[in-house]
């Protein structure tokens, strides 16, 4: 997927050791389909060369407001008018102070001041020492920049080049890329709270064995990311998977179906939308062994008694909030055959307005999927595509139904 295809990004570098991350960010933006025009301050050139950034962006780098390559000698006007967004990464404390006061003594700050504020958004990726980050002046500056319309992307925490550890380091290139992609997504769920369950559950037989399934959680994690991109506040209840948490999503890790039920119920009281993508075990071992079950050489197989797990989706869908229309519930059905009929039967049985069906063996662990949207009017096929693309389509479908 080229999420930034057709977008022209001006990538500004102010002075700071985090300039080394800007090289990878530039590369990532280009891979996402954007064209990238790099503009550097004199201080930035002390940390990374224009040659490096030109090689990665495929475009000449600008650094002087007197650049004679521009026929009208106004690069601060021309470059800003061409941009879909200006991203300053790294954005130093000094540069934030410049922006706040409207100082424009070199090309990058001049360009930010000259941009049409209603057409060219300004995204800032701060990069500061932990004490500089915590200083009241920095916090005041950031608050005022946000009030003036700039989008501050936040900072990371960890080891810093100065040898100290704490908040203030620039976000990683992958994180910034996700934030920039999210910025351009339509905010169809702005102000909504979305609850998503994802992944398999694990039902213990003994301390080292258990019953699970092949769900990777990728579809649910993609939906959580897409909902967050759409402006929602997202909580993700995840079974035992090793996927990274989508940017800006609150994650609650669980193990068993009962764990997932217990985590989901209180969160559903706060949500506007519930999307149950998790492949929850229907049954669990009634009396799991406290010790590892061992073979005794007799060839006799242990007998396991099972009991039914709580039905998470049905419980949420039958709640007073869901019945009153305050909570929109979406279920998922992973089937092995007769998808349309099984999905419709499950939708009716669970009591949800929308159920999404797929063939489990054809999608578990894969990066793509094909969906069947099932409601009271029938079904609609969604052709196979990347799971994130399908997640965005599903979010748009839910927004339309709301």
52, two tokens = 């490096």
pLDDT of residue 296: 83
Say yes or no to pLDDT of 361 above 80: no
Say yes or no to pLDDT of 150 above 90: yes
When pLDDT is averaged across residues 335-344 and rounded to a whole number, the result is 85
Give the tens place of pLDDT for each residue, 70-113. Answer: 889 899 999 999 999 999 999 999 999 999 999 999 999 999 99
pLDDT of residue 67: 87
In angstroms, the CA 146 to CA 76 distance is: 22
Question: Quick one: what percent of the chain has pLDDT higher than 70?
Answer: 100
Residue 360 pLDDT level (bands cut at 50, 70, 90):
confident
When pLDDT is averaged across residues 350-374 and rounded to a whole number, the result is 88
Say yes or no to pLDDT of 200 above 90: yes
Using only C-alpha atoms, the chain has a radius of gyration, in whole angstroms, of 25
Cα separation values, 102 from 73, 113, 118, 142, 148, Å: 21, 6, 17, 14, 11
Helices (H) and strands (E) in the chain, counts: 15, 19
pLDDT of residue 359: 75
309 compared with 298, residue with greater pLDDT: 309
Contacts of 4 by beta carbon, 8 Å cutoff, 6+ apart = 29, 32, 33, 34, 180, 181, 184
pLDDT of residue 338: 83
Say yes or no to pLDDT of 303 above 90: no
Q: pTM for the complete prediction? A: 0.90
Residue 20 pLDDT level (bands cut at 50, 70, 90):
very high
Question: Quick one: what percent of the chain has pLDDT higher than 90?
Answer: 85
Q: Average per-residue pLDDT in the chain?
A: 94
Give the tens place of pLDDT for each residue, 228-280. Answer: 999 999 999 999 999 999 999 999 999 999 999 999 999 999 999 999 999 99
- Beta carbons within 10 angstroms of residue 59's beta carbon: 14
Q: How many CA atoms lie within 13 A of 387 on its CB side?
A: 20
CB 157 within 8 A of CB 111: no
pLDDT of residue 395: 97
Cα separation values, 372 from 337, 338, 353, Å: 13, 12, 14
Domains by residue range for the chain, with CATH: 8-184 (3.40.50.1950), 193-285+305-401 (3.40.50.10300)
Q: Of 276, 177, 270, 156, which is closest to residue 229 (Cα–Cα)?
A: 177
When pLDDT is averaged across residues 292-298 and rounded to a whole number, the result is 87
pLDDT of residue 397: 96
Residue 340 pLDDT level (bands cut at 50, 70, 90):
confident
Considering 26, 91, 162, 329, which one is annotated as catalytic? 162
Q: Which residues pair with 368 in a beta bridge?
A: 386
Phi, psi of 21 (to 5 degrees): -75, -25
pLDDT of residue 267: 97
Question: Does residue 162 carry a catalytic annotation?
Answer: yes
Question: What's the farthest any 2 CA atoms get from each other in the chain?
Answer: 91
**Residue-by-residue DSSP string for 144-193:** HHHHTT-EE---EEEE-TTS-EEEEEPPPHHHHHHHHHHHHS--TTTT-E
CB 87 within 8 A of CB 10: yes
């Amino acid at each position: 997927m080229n999420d930034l295809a057709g977008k022209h990004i001006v990538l500004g570098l102010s002075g700071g050791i985090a300039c080394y991350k800007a090289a990878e960010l530039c590369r990532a933006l280009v891979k996402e389909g954007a064209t990238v025009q790099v503009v550097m301050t004199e201080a930035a050139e002390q940390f990374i060369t224009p040659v490096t950034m030109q090689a990665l962006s495929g475009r000449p780098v600008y650094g002087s407001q007197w650049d004679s390559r521009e026929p009208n000698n106004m690069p601060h006007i021309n470059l800003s008018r061409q941009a879909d967004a200006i991203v300053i990464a790294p954005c130093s404390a000094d540069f934030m102070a410049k922006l706040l006061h409207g100082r424009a003594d070199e090309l990058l700050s001049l360009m930010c001041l000259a941009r049409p504020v209603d057409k060219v958004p300004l995204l800032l990726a701060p990069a500061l020492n932990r004490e500089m980050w915590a200083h009241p002046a920095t916090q005041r500056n950031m608050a005022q920049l946000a009030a003036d319309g700039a989008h501050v992307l936040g900072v990371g925490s960890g080891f810093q080049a100065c040898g100290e550890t704490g908040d203030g380091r620039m976000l990683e290139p992958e994180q910034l890329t996700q934030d920039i992609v999210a910025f351009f997504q339509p905010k169809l769920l702005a102000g909504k709270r979305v609850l998503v369950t994802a992944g398999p559950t694990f039902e213990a037989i003994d301390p080292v064995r258990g019953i699970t399934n092949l769900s990777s959680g990728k579809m649910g994690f993609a939906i959580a990311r897409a909902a967050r991109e759409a402006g929602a506040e997202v909580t993700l209840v995840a079974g035992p998977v090793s996927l990274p948490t989508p940017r800006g999503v609150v994650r609650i890790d669980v193990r068993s179906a009962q764990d997932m039920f217990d985590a989901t119920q209180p969160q559903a009281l706060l949500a506007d939308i519930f999307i149950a993508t998790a492949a929850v075990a229907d049954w669990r071992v009634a009396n799991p062994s406290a010790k590892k079950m061992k073979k005794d050489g007799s060839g006799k197989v242990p007998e396991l008694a099972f009991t039914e797990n709580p039905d998470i989706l049905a419980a949420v869908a039958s709640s007073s909030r869901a019945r009153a229309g305050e909570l929109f519930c979406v279920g998922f059905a992973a089937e092995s055959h007769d998808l349309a009929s099984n999905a419709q039967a499950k939708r009716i049985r669970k009591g949800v307005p929308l159920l999404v069906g797929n063939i489990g063996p054809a999608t578990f662990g894969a990066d793509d999927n094909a969906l069947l949207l099932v409601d009271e009017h029938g079904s609609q096929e969604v052709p196979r595509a990347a799971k994130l693309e399908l997640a965005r389509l599903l979010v748009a479908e839910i927004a339309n139904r709301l």
